[in-house]
Copies of this chain bind each other. A is one copy, B any other.
Amino acid sequence: DSNTDINLVDESSPIIQAFKQYQNELDTKHDKHERLVKLSRDVTLESKRVIFLLQRIAGGTDENKNNVLKEADTKLQAIQDDHFRKIALELDGEDPYQFLKAYTAGMQEYIEAVTFFQYHKDQSLTNHLTIQRQLQFTQNCPTDETSNSTLPNVENPKLPKLDIQDQPVKPLDSASCESSYHDSQISAIKTIEVLVTPLDYILGVADLTGEIMRLAINSVKTGNANFLFQLCDFMREIHNAFISFGNIHREIRRKLNVLQQSLKKVETACYTLQIRGSEIPKHMLADVLSGKTMD
């Protein structure tokens, strides 16, 4: 639209006609990339805050743990329903790998947050498919709201993974709701998603170990050896898996280094707890540390 009114060149030339089309395509792509970068930055920021929130749980026995988990859950839900839904709309009908660089940073931070949350909940590692399903959405437009804030009508379907739809969706900022609403009239409800690549998943898990390490160090003072040893086992499992992967990807290699440092820190923490406990009988240890005796 912007430059068409300028008559610099021979408008009738087929070359010029073709390049006008190219201009349009390029601008559309760059604009979409830019919007995705911004959404990704938002995801990063919000995910980081979830992680910090979860780090506020002291050890494995905190009495406020449930409250924290509830708040973290709400925040994660908001990231999915707000930011990721917008990303999914942008990516609808696209080859997601084309725009991967634009949102990979946010995705990895989000995976770190989600897996950390899950670990707090039940000491398990969230699998790839679960995370992918959380980022699938039915497209169902609110009637006439213009704001970007809460989208009450969006449902997170927890459906089995679907193929990416072919139909492209108009960018959000040009009255996207209308046009996508229009689409849905034709095609009924459809499912859109943000692709979680296996590499992003595993790099997010690598980052998770950094947070596990922080959690472990924080937990030493509780003297809960079992909890600490459990964290150490979990880290070892991830570590052993990573060393079996091989030199596939530069990023994995780089993160393995960090992971090894973190594991050493946790192993040293276990060592400290063990050697500290060696000076009194085992059964007294927990009491001492929980402050139940000798005060």
Contact = CB atoms under 8 A, between A and B. Distances in A.
Contacts of A67: 5-7
A120 to B, nearest CB: 14
Nearest to A56: B8
Nearest to A42: B34
Nearest to A23: B52
Contact of A45 (B8, B30, B45): B30
Q: How many copies does the complex hold?
A: 2
Nearest to A62: B8
Contact of A68 (B8, B42, B49, B58): B8
A45 B35 CA distance: 12
A64 B64 CA distance: 70
Nearest to A64: B8
Interface of A: 2-3, 5-8, 30, 34, 37-38, 41-42, 45, 49, 53, 56-58, 62, 64, 67-68, 71, 75, 146
15 contacts: A3-B53, A3-B56, A3-B71, A5-B71, A6-B53, A6-B68, A7-B64, A7-B67, A8-B57, A8-B68, A30-B45, A34-B42, A34-B45, A37-B41, A38-B41
CB-CB nearest 6 A-B residue pairs: A8-B64, A8-B56, A6-B67, A38-B38, A6-B68, A7-B64
